[in-house]
Amino acid sequence: MQTTGNQIIANNLTKSGSDTFYAKNPATGEQLATEFVEATAEEIDRAVQKAEEAFVIYRKKSDQERADFLDKIGEEIMNLGDTLLELCHQETGLPMGRLTGERGRTVNQLKLFAELLRDGTWVDARIDTAMPDRQPLPKPDIRQMQIALGPVGVFGASNFPLAFSIAGGDTASALAAGCTVVVKGHPAHPGTSELVGRAIAQAVESSGMPAGTFSLVQGKSVEVGMGIVQHPLIKAIGFTGSFRGGKALFDAANQRDEPIPVYAEMGSINPVFVLPEALKQRSDKIAEGWVGSLTLGVGQFCTNPGVLVSMNSEETTQFLKVAEQSLSSLSTGAMLTNQISEVYQSAVNQMSQIEEVATVATSQRSDAATAAEGQIFSTSAQRFLTNSELSDEVFGPSSLHVTAQSKNEMLEVAKNLEGHLTATLHATDRDLEEYADLVAILERKVGRLLVNGFPTGVEVCHSMVHGGPYPATTDSRTTSVGTLAIKRFTRPISYQNFPQNGLPQALKNENPLRIFRLVNGKLTQEPTS
């Protein structure tokens, strides 16, 4: 399958604009062959209008039908074969092994939501039966469940061209919820976006879904994305990217005549706390793991460990020596785009010039066009607490070591953190007992707490939370990974005194779907009367 540079609007390939752009190979700097065209305002409007038309039909499809559709998307992605991986490698510079794994994650994510739909309990059905003889007033029959919001806008991410992009978690969870989707492809990998978009379009057709269930628009300009956010028929937004980009979308969505939710996953420094007993027992292993985590994927993960905190001690001195040796022996690869590379270089240059910040280690530099050197910096907790610049995210293979002089100073560092996606504790059982107050602080700061691991690597499962308090995300109650992500694109509705033949299947007395429901306060699969 060859790329065309077209938009995909309701299963039709279109190209009516005049502004063009090209993808570049970040490893070589080579411009790739396909010319892509910026979506016009008319094309964006048509995509959203078609999404609204399709939503009226798609939201009524059964959970089984939508589950089969999600499975079919996964099959069509796999049918693209190595063509998808090879093009994605050219557009991103990411190694084939990484992309093969990410494709598997993308397909498995679709399968997980399909399984959720087949179970059916996700609708959170609640039934309170009538009590007509209740005094002083009768109690009505009230039944509640989750329903889809409407057409959703999704923004593809730069750093995960498959798993957080066209058929990624936002799209999968929105489609699972019964929403139609208009996706803006990321301009760093437009060919990859088109191939996956065409796979989804094929699944739409072969599954008998309405044509406007999915559309893909492309472009480098801000206007393309804002055209989706500001369209009055769009009911929610899913975004993964920078704080600046996510905040701009959030502000625009809240300035609409009808404000809509924006579920933006943005920046995070993902602090790591190495507690005293753990440092004594395995400092070398922790140091090597830290370096491996901060350089993984050239540091271009939203879960990159950007800050590590430990006590001032002989063990910390040894820890930093091992980290320096480990990083100095590595050569980091290509960053995803020239812009990301330039922003990273500017950030590490700025960090190195801050007073009382020392450079601990620098990696070797590869010959990639967008190569970046890994960096470890160090400062005191006191300096960290008095200079807010030190808590800014540096998107790339860099981390800052913070030395605390006491437990209280370590707690102060934790208290002064903003919201982040993760926090990690390297600790023994004794450490966890003695630092229970640190855990209590971090519970209010992050969406995921780890013990004796590193935050890079986000398992796709029912219990995962990939979110956190602002500014990590715009809504700390949600996750962009795992099955709870479906609730971002639904809302509750109650049906009062409805006749049985007018109720959705999930709320009928006989429980034809055989799902678990909360009936008069008790969870059961049994029919009700």
Crossing angle of helices 96-119 and 169-177, rounded to 10° = 20
d(CA 268, CA 304): 8
If phi over 0 gives left and psi between -120 and 50 gives alpha, with beta otherwise, what is residue 528? beta
**Burial readout 486-523 (b: 16 or more C-beta within 10 A, e: otherwise):** bbbbbeeeebeeeeeeebbbbbbeebebebbbebeeee
**385 three-class SS:** helix
What Å distances lie between residue 177 and 301, 335, 363, 378, 458, CA to CA?
27, 34, 45, 46, 22
52 catalytic residue (yes or no): no
Q: Quick check: 39 and 226 in contact, CB under 8 A?
A: no
- Quick one: CA torsion of 362, 364, 367, 373, rounded to 10 degrees? -20
* Active-site residue, selected from the candidate residues 302, 315, 373, 393: 302
**Residue 418: exposure state from Cβ atoms within 10 A (0-12, 13-18, ≥19):** middle
* Active-site residue, selected from the candidate residues 53, 76, 265, 409: 265
Residue type, 289: G
With tokens 């160090």, the residue in question is 378
88 catalytic residue (yes or no): no
Q: Quick check: 366 and 390 in contact, CB under 8 A?
A: no
Residues classed as catalytic: 265, 302
